[in-house]
Amino acid sequence: VAENETKSLSLGEIAQFAGALVKGDPEIRVVGVAPIETAGPDQLSFFTDARYRPLLEKCTAAALIVPPSFTDLEFPLLVCDRPYLAAVRVAKLFFESAAPSAGIDPAAHIEPGAEIGAHAWVGPLAHIGSGSRIGEGTCVHGTAYIGRNVSVGENCTVYPGAVILDGSRIGRRVIVHSGAVIGADGFGYVQDEAGRHEKIPQIGIVEIEDDVEIGANATIDRATFGRTLIRRGAKIDNLVMIAHNVEIGEDCIMAAQAGISGSSRLGSHVSLGGQVGIAGHLEIGDRVRLGAKSGVHASIRSDQDMAGIPAVPQGEWVKSYANIRRLSRMREELRQLKDRVQKIEEALNEP
């Protein structure tokens, strides 16, 4: 994961790629991107916030990507409207060239009947089950496990120790981080006559669309019947739990350790803070945002910001906590008022 140090690009080339204007010598060459605090004289950096101007005094970067409001800076500049987004894209340019070469490592274990696409890579001690197809350019790292009848699309990355179980369908450009488990049984039981939990067989699958990222040690369970579905562009952080038959909408973003119970459905662009919990069989509308640690026990309409356990609109949550903090004073006021009423009553009762 080191930058490819032999690759260098000129400011002119980068400007063309990023749709930026060069202010300074377009022939200056850089070998990577770094923040202003650490960028060396052969690296590009970015500057977007006037508060950090003092950091520029010691900055040794070769050049800066800046918005039009900072064209006065005494550095070679690349000027564009969204400098941080441009910096990210330029960083990727250096970074992506470090991909492993294609092929199947001799220590990989490929079952007969598995198909590995062109330019794909399967690392040592990785396993691909029979009936599975690995797309072109996809990288299955060492010790990853792909079960049977799994399809993994093009240009995916499956990191070491990730497990994708039988029948899962993975789209294109999906990233599955180490230790993530896709397609374990959903958690479903029915009580038998004696009150014991009898397992409901989980015979559905997991389907993951294009451009999804699944964090390390996250778990996405297979459906009881049918499918658990993660739609295009959803980003799921480490240690998140997605239960059976859940549907996650396009471009949802779920921070670490959040959990969604069975059969709940999230709309698109939903944003979950860390450690959020959502009960089962709920509908969460588009663009709902849930503060960290909230607990959701009822469906939520679109475009709501919610927080708390149970989750309530963000404003109501803030007010409730302010009220709770005032409770001691309120009790004191109530006590004083009782005294005053007591005195009035005594005064009125005097002969």
What residues are annotated to the active site?
244
| 117 lines the binding site for a copy of itself (CB under 8 A) | no
| 239 lines the binding site for a copy of itself (CB under 8 A) | yes
| 257 lines the binding site for a copy of itself (CB under 8 A) | yes
Asked if residues 256 and 215 have their Cβ atoms less than 8 Å apart, the reply is yes
Closest CB to a copy of itself among residues 62, 175: 175
Asked if residues 309 and 291 have their Cβ atoms less than 8 Å apart, the reply is no
| 51 lines the binding site for a copy of itself (CB under 8 A) | no
Closest CB to a copy of itself among residues 281, 319: 319
Closest CB to a copy of itself among residues 11, 276: 276
Give the Cα-Cα-Cα angle 344, 348, 351 (nearest 5 degrees): 140
Distance, CA of 290 to CA of 232 (rounded, Å)? 20
Cα 278 to the center of its chain, rounded Å = 17
Q: Smallest distance, Å, CB 235 to a copy of itself?
A: 5
- The enclosing H or E element of 305 equals strand 305-307
| 313 lines the binding site for a copy of itself (CB under 8 A) | no
| 300 lines the binding site for a copy of itself (CB under 8 A) | no
Give the Cα-Cα-Cα angle 280, 282, 287 (nearest 5 degrees): 125
| 59 lines the binding site for a copy of itself (CB under 8 A) | no
Closest CB to a copy of itself among residues 27, 319: 319
Asked if residues 70 and 88 have their Cβ atoms less than 8 Å apart, the reply is no
Name the one range near a copy of itself by CB under 8 A: 6-14, 21-29, 51-59, 222-230: 222-230
Q: Smallest distance, Å, CB 27 to a copy of itself?
A: 25
Q: Which of residues 188-217 bind a copy of itself (CB under 8 A)?
A: 189-190, 192-193, 195-203, 205, 211, 213, 215-217
Closest CB to a copy of itself among residues 17, 189: 189
Per-residue three-class SS string for 89-149: HHHHHHHHHHCCCCEECCCCEECCCCEECCCCEECCCCEECCCCEECCCCEECCCCEECCC
115 contacts: CB under 8 Å, gap ≥ 6? 132, 133, 134
Beta bridge partners of 259: 241, 277
> Angle formed by the axes of helices 83-95 and 11-18, to 10°?
120
Q: Which of residues 66-95 bind a copy of itself (CB under 8 A)?
A: 82, 84-85, 88-89, 91-92, 95
Closest CB to a copy of itself among residues 25, 100: 100
Task: Identify the residue among 17, 53, 71, 309 touching a copy of itself (CB under 8 A).
Answer: 309
| 350 lines the binding site for a copy of itself (CB under 8 A) | no
Q: Which of residues 9-38 bind a copy of itself (CB under 8 A)?
A: 32, 34-35, 38
| 58 lines the binding site for a copy of itself (CB under 8 A) | no
Query: SS3 for 151?
Result: strand
- Tally: H helices and E strands in the chain: 4, 39
How many chain residues touch a copy of itself (CB under 8 A)?
115
- Choose among 33, 17, 12: nearest CA to 76: 12
| 237 lines the binding site for a copy of itself (CB under 8 A) | yes
| 181 lines the binding site for a copy of itself (CB under 8 A) | yes
| 333 lines the binding site for a copy of itself (CB under 8 A) | yes
| 326 lines the binding site for a copy of itself (CB under 8 A) | yes
Distance, CA of 156 to CA of 114 (rounded, Å)? 17
